[in-house]
Amino acid sequence: MRRRRRGVRAAAAPVPGATLVVDADSPAAHWRDDHGARWVDPIADTPQARWLTGPADLADLRTYLDAARDRRSLPLIVIYHVPNRDCGRDAGGAADAEAYDRFIERTVAVLGDSRAAVVLEPDAVADECYDDARAALLVHAVHRLSDAGQYVYLDAGNSPWRSPEEMAGRLRQAGVARAEGLAVNVANRQSTADSHRWGLRLSDLVGDREMLIDTSRNGLPAPPDDQWCNPPRQALGQPPTTAPGLPRVAALLWIKSPGESDGPCGRGEPVPVSSGRRRPRP
């Protein structure tokens, strides 16, 4: 029997046991189709998250939601548009709090009566520029999405970054009491076992919330010294499943788009900067 989460509506969450939608418009699907690379099929035909990094990404969201509805599948969405995203190292993000609130309202409107699992703002709570103003924005976003029937998983960073005690305080301030759960290891390379252990300690401190674990990059051991920017010898992790058989884990998911670069990394690679960079910090 699943635990009843304190402070959350009584409706059952849709993630455990759900069928996940395969996104025909994913980066991997585009690359396969553009290059005629059928060997990419096992990646492109695996469910992955749809990232919303700004208003332009809302244009095609209804098509994705319609496909999920037609296939009776669960959409998985990442909202990644908070102001001062990545503490200014990233040129993206909303211009200010008012623009961010408008973006959340537009997202709620486009989602309409669709029900999705929403990973809210990778990095935003764990980052060093987290403050009261950002917490207030996240509280509002959690409330609006939850009140609209969405199932919100507030990003909690990854195991090397912050202690469970510090992250728990930040998450409580950011509105986790109204969220469905936590997202752990998004776009990072920590093992599923380490992420689960750390996530359980964190969950204990925030009302036994369930978690999503990103396995899109953890197929090999994490690189030494917390190297985050395109480290060598990395691999896809366990394929997505909504029946992981792990306590308080709703699903193992490919949240980060497989194969995306973290940017030039100071080595001169001619590669685009991806959405959602992840820097584990001490």
Positions marked catalytic? 86, 123, 262
Phi first, then psi: give them for residue 184, nearest 5 degrees: -125, 140
Q: Which residues pair with 117 in a beta bridge?
A: 76, 151
Helical axes 132-147 vs 164-173, angle rounded to 10°? 70
Measured CA to CA, the distance from residue 256 to residue 185 in angstroms comes to 10
Contacts from 234-241 at CB under 8 Å and sequence distance 24+?
Answer: 234/189, 236/43, 237/192, 238/192, 239/46, 239/215, 240/20, 240/46, 240/47, 240/48, 240/215
- Is 51:80 a contact under the CB 8 Å cutoff? yes
**Cα torsion angle, 99, 102, 104, 110, sign:** negative
Give me 155's structure tokens. 């990003």
Which run of H or of E encompasses 67? helix 61-70
Question: Do the beta carbons of residue 23 and residue 47 sit within 8 Å?
Answer: yes
Residue by residue, DSSP assigns 231-281 as -SS----SPPBS---STTEEEEE--SPTT--B--TTTT---PBPSS-----
Beta strands 50-52; 117-120: pairing state: unpaired
